[in-house]
């Protein structure tokens, strides 16, 4: 195994490693060459959390996607022009399976003319050098590292550099992507790339970003480590009006976004994954907007009705959770654990961000920092002691007793150490007889 493959497999989660193997087998069955590309390779080399897997196929990528669907993967979105499929696998792992391609743009922001291409040509046509690296997943060259634009050196220099002079003119959404990567990675923008960015902004090419790509950027903002820092950077670059003119001023709700960031980190510290947190992010982002301004933002990015419905359901659903935690019948740690154990982590983030009830905040924090870690240490065999079928009254009673025995029993105070026995008084003999 190459050093790069060892690094990759050690950085991926168990679910991601299973998907990696699954896609390799599908590519072998389809008789095509497969590469891991883009942000996944960048984050692996930079020591960042790997969020999504990006696969490039020399050949028929749609055939690979179809084989994966037959094995249970679900396709979320298909870009017919680029022969690219966004997919989700078991364990919630997300991945892109795309044709290795060359893109030509007749004019700024236009739909590209796409033709199949070898992987090296595909990489040279990408946006930034740190996104133009690949790792071969083919049997004969597994682990071979491809870096035609010297992105690895730019990773070492902590620098963002474009792959060619027309990066922002070809695809204006890269303007937003540059700011997002700069904030997340803390990299500097290389001087020539900064000049290209400034020239593109002077030509107002950002106004040509289509609504679907604006929505994709919003989705990615929600998953960034520090949304308030990113939103502030976008405000400084005068890019927020692309989403809503109302956000270019005091209606940018940075305090709520900061609370969201802190809540997310607390939930993650308990080894819970709060994704997707788009609903909580969107709620914080638009909290100060009027209903009319909020509607205009959603319309401007062509927000799907399903996403809007999920966001609308979030507040009433979590309000029920607040009421349950405030109930006078909730008196013991086991009661809190029973309420919160099956709540999605994203809902916990929302309540921590928005609840003004001190008791609700304290109980969720205690759950995350005390009760959950305690129950995570209980051996699997002990959980089998819970009697009855799940969903039955017997199982509910047995489970509550099981939790109470581990969470509600206060440790006995240590036995006081016995006081030492008094020593015999010293006899002092005075006079000549000593």
CATH of the domain at 42: 3.30.460.10
Query: 264 and 389 in one domain?
Result: yes
pLDDT value, residue 283: 92
The answer to whether residue 80 is domain-embedded is yes
CA-to-CA distance for 209 and 189, rounded, in angstroms?
21
Dihedral, CA of residue 260, residue 262, residue 263 and residue 264, to nearest 10: 80
pLDDT value, residue 426: 54
Dihedral, CA of residue 22, residue 27, residue 29 and residue 31, to nearest 10: -170
pLDDT value, residue 390: 85
pLDDT value, residue 399: 87
The answer to whether residue 78 is domain-embedded is yes
CA-to-CA distance for 20 and 55, rounded, in angstroms?
9
- Cα separation values, 85 from 16, 74, 77, 95, Å: 17, 10, 6, 8
Q: For position 381, which CATH number holds?
A: 1.10.3090
Omega within 30 of 0 (cis) for the link into 137? no
CA atoms within 13 A on the CB side of 193: 20
Average pLDDT, the chain: 90
Query: 235 and 127 in one domain?
Result: no
Cβ atoms of 239 and 205 within 8 Å: the answer is no
Query: 246 and 142 in one domain?
Result: no
CA-to-CA distance for 187 and 178, rounded, in angstroms?
10
Query: 216 and 140 in one domain?
Result: no
223 Cβ contact list (under 8 Å, min separation 6)? 51, 275, 276, 277, 278
Mean pLDDT is lowest, of 170-184, 188-202, 344-358, 376-390, for 376-390
pLDDT band (50, 70, 90) for residue 43: very high
Q: Of 155, 187, 204, which one is at a domain's C-terminal end?
A: 155
9 Cβ contact list (under 8 Å, min separation 6)? 1, 17, 20
Query: 222 and 150 in one domain?
Result: no
Each residue's pLDDT tens digit, 245-290: 999 888 999 999 999 999 999 999 999 988 888 899 999 999 999 9
Query: 266 and 149 in one domain?
Result: no
pLDDT value, residue 91: 86
Residue 196 corresponds to which tokens in the numbers above?
């290209």
The answer to whether residue 335 is domain-embedded is yes
Each residue's pLDDT tens digit, 184-235: 999 999 999 999 999 999 999 999 999 989 999 999 999 898 999 999 999 9
Query: 267 and 398 in one domain?
Result: yes
Query: 393 and 252 in one domain?
Result: yes
Query: Rounded to two decimals, what is the model's pTM?
Result: 0.85
Q: Of 155, 189, 221, which one is at a domain's C-terminal end?
A: 155
The answer to whether residue 414 is domain-embedded is no
The answer to whether residue 134 is domain-embedded is yes
Is the sign of the CA dihedral 126, 219, 52, 50 positive or negative? positive
Query: 236 and 128 in one domain?
Result: no
Residue 306 corresponds to which tokens in the numbers above?
């399903």
pLDDT value, residue 413: 58
Query: 145 and 63 in one domain?
Result: yes
pLDDT value, residue 112: 87
Q: Of 116, 132, 155, which one is at a domain's C-terminal end?
A: 155
pLDDT value, residue 205: 96
Is the sign of the CA dihedral 336, 337, 338, 341 positive or negative? positive
Residue 232 corresponds to which tokens in the numbers above?
């502030």
The answer to whether residue 160 is domain-embedded is no
User: Quick check: 78 pLDDT over 80?
Assistant: yes
- DSSP helix/strand/coil, 165: coil
Cβ atoms of 285 and 253 within 8 Å: the answer is yes
Cβ atoms of 250 and 293 within 8 Å: the answer is no
With pLDDT > 90 as the criterion, what percentage of the chain qualifies? 70
pLDDT value, residue 424: 54
pLDDT value, residue 430: 46
pLDDT value, residue 418: 61
pLDDT value, residue 433: 42
Residue 189: CB atoms within 10 A of its CB come to: 19
User: Quick check: 19 pLDDT over 90?
Assistant: yes
CA-to-CA distance for 432 and 434, rounded, in angstroms?
6
Query: 100 and 25 in one domain?
Result: yes
pLDDT value, residue 79: 87
CA-to-CA distance for 248 and 239, rounded, in angstroms?
8
Domain that holds residue 282: 212-404
Eight-state DSSP code of residue 52: -
pLDDT band (50, 70, 90) for residue 412: low
The answer to whether residue 173 is domain-embedded is no
pLDDT value, residue 429: 47
Query: 257 and 140 in one domain?
Result: no
Each residue's pLDDT tens digit, 120-145: 999 999 999 999 999 999 988 999 99
Number of domains in the chain: 2
Cβ atoms of 202 and 253 within 8 Å: the answer is no
pLDDT value, residue 434: 40
The answer to whether residue 423 is domain-embedded is no
């Amino acid at each position: 195994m190459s050093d790069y493959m060892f690094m990759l497999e050690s950085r991926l989660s168990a679910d991601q490693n299973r998907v990696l193997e699954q896609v390799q087998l599908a590519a072998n069955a389809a008789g095509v060459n497969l590469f891991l590309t883009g942000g996944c390779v960048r984050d692996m080399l930079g020591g960042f959390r790997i969020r999504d897997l990006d696969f490039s196929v020399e050949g028929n990528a749609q055939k690979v996607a179809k084989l994966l669907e037959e094995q249970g993967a679900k396709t979320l979105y298909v870009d017919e022009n680029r022969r690219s499929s966004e997919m989700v696998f078991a364990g919630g792992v997300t991945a892109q399976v795309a044709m290795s391609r060359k893109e030509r743009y007749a004019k700024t922001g236009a739909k590209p003319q796409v033709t199949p291409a070898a992987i090296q040509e595909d990489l040279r046509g990408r946006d930034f050098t740190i996104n133009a690296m690949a790792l071969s997943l083919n049997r004969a060259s597994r682990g071979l590292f491809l870096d035609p634009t010297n992105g690895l050196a730019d990773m070492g220099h902590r620098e963002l550099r474009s792959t060619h002079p027309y990066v922002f003119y070809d695809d204006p959404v890269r303007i937003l992507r540059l700011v997002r990567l700069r904030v997340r990675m803390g990299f500097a923008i290389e001087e020539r790339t900064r000049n290209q960015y400034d020239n593109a902004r002077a030509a107002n090419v950002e106004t040509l970003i289509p609504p679907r790509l604006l929505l994709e950027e919003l989705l990615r903002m929600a998953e960034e480590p520090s949304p308030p820092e990113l939103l502030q950077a976008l405000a400084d670059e005068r890019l927020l009006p692309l989403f809503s003119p109302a956000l270019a001023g005091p209606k940018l709700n940075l305090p709520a976004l900061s609370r969201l960031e802190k809540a997310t980190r607390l939930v993650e510290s308990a080894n819970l994954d709060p994704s997707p947190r788009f609903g909580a992010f969107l709620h914080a982002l638009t909290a100060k907007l009027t209903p009319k301004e909020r509607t205009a933002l959603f319309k401007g990015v062509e927000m799907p009705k399903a996403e809007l419905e999920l966001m609308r359901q979030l507040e009433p659903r979590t309000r029920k959770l607040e009421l349950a935690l405030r109930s006078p019948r909730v008196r013991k740690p086991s009661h809190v654990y029973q309420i919160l154990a099956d709540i999605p982590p994203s809902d916990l983030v929302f309540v921590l961000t928005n609840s003004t009830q001190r008791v609700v905040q304290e109980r969720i924090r205690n759950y995350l920092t005390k009760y959950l870690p305690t129950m995570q240490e209980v051996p699997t065999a002990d959980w089998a002691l819970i009697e009855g079928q799940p969903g039955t009254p017997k199982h509910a009673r047995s489970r509550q007793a099981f939790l109470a025995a581990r969470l509600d029993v206060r440790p006995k105070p240590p036995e006081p150490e016995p006081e030492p026995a008094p020593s015999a008084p010293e006899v002092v003999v005075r006079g000549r007889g000593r």
